[in-house]
Amino acid sequence: MIRWYRACTALLLAAIAILSPVASRAQDVGSVPDTTTAEETKFAPVPQFAGAFTPGYGFDILKTKRGSINLSVYGLFRFLDQTPAEQTFTDHLGRERTVAARNDINWHRTMVWVSGFFFDPKLLYTITVWSLPSTEQTLVFGLLRYVVAKPLTFGAGIGPSLTARSMQGSWPFWAGSDRQMAEEFYRGGFASAFFVTGSPTDRFYYTVSVNRSLSQLGITAAQDNRAYAYSASFSWFPTTGELGPRGGFGDLEEHQEFATRIGMSACHAREGRYAGDEDSPRHGQLKLSDGVNPFELGALADTVLVRSLDYDEIAIDAGFKYKGFSFQAEYGLRWLSEFDATGPLPDDSIFDHGFFAEAMHMVVEKKLGLYATTGYIIDEFDRKPWELGGGASFYPYGNRNLRLNLHYIHVEKSPTGSSFGYYTAGQTGDTVSMGVDILL
Question: 176 with 382: CB under 8 angstroms?
Answer: no
| Beta carbons within 10 angstroms of residue 236's beta carbon | 16
Q: Rounded CA gap, 121 and 434, in Å?
A: 41
pTM of the model: 0.88
- Pick from 318, 349, 355: nearest CA to 185: 355
Q: Rounded CA gap, 109 and 220, in Å?
A: 22
Phi–psi pair at 236, nearest 5 degrees: -125, 130
DSSP class of residue 419 equals: S
Contacts of 234 (CB under 8 A, 6+ apart): 12, 15, 16, 204, 205, 206, 207, 263, 264
Query: Quick one: 286 exposed, middle or buried, by C-beta within 10 A (0-12, 13-18, 19+)?
Result: buried
DSSP class of residue 48 equals: S
| Strand locations in 259-301 (E) | 259-272
User: What residue type is assigned to position 316 of the chain?
Assistant: I
- Pick from 309, 387, 295: nearest CA to 350: 309
Query: Which domains occur in the chain, in start order?
Result: 2-439 (2.40.160.10)
- Pick from 2, 30, 165, 101: nearest CA to 430: 101
Phi–psi pair at 20, nearest 5 degrees: -65, -50
Phi–psi pair at 203, nearest 5 degrees: -120, 10
- pLDDT by residue for the chain (440 residues), tens only, comes to 445 445 455 445 544 444 444 333 333 333 333 443 334 445 555 555 555 567 888 899 999 999 999 999 999 999 999 999 999 999 999 999 999 999 999 999 999 999 999 999 999 999 999 998 888 888 899 999 999 999 999 999 999 999 999 999 899 999 999 999 999 999 999 999 999 999 999 899 999 999 999 999 888 888 889 999 999 999 999 999 999 999 999 999 999 999 999 999 999 999 999 999 999 999 989 999 999 999 999 999 999 999 999 999 999 999 999 999 999 999 999 999 999 999 999 999 999 999 999 999 999 999 999 999 999 999 999 999 999 999 999 999 999 999 999 999 999 999 999 888 999 999 999 999 999 999 99
- Pick from 329, 333, 299: nearest CA to 314: 333
In angstroms, the first-to-last Cα distance of the chain is 45
Determine which helix (DSSP H) or strand (DSSP E) holds 39, and give its type and residue range: helix 39-42
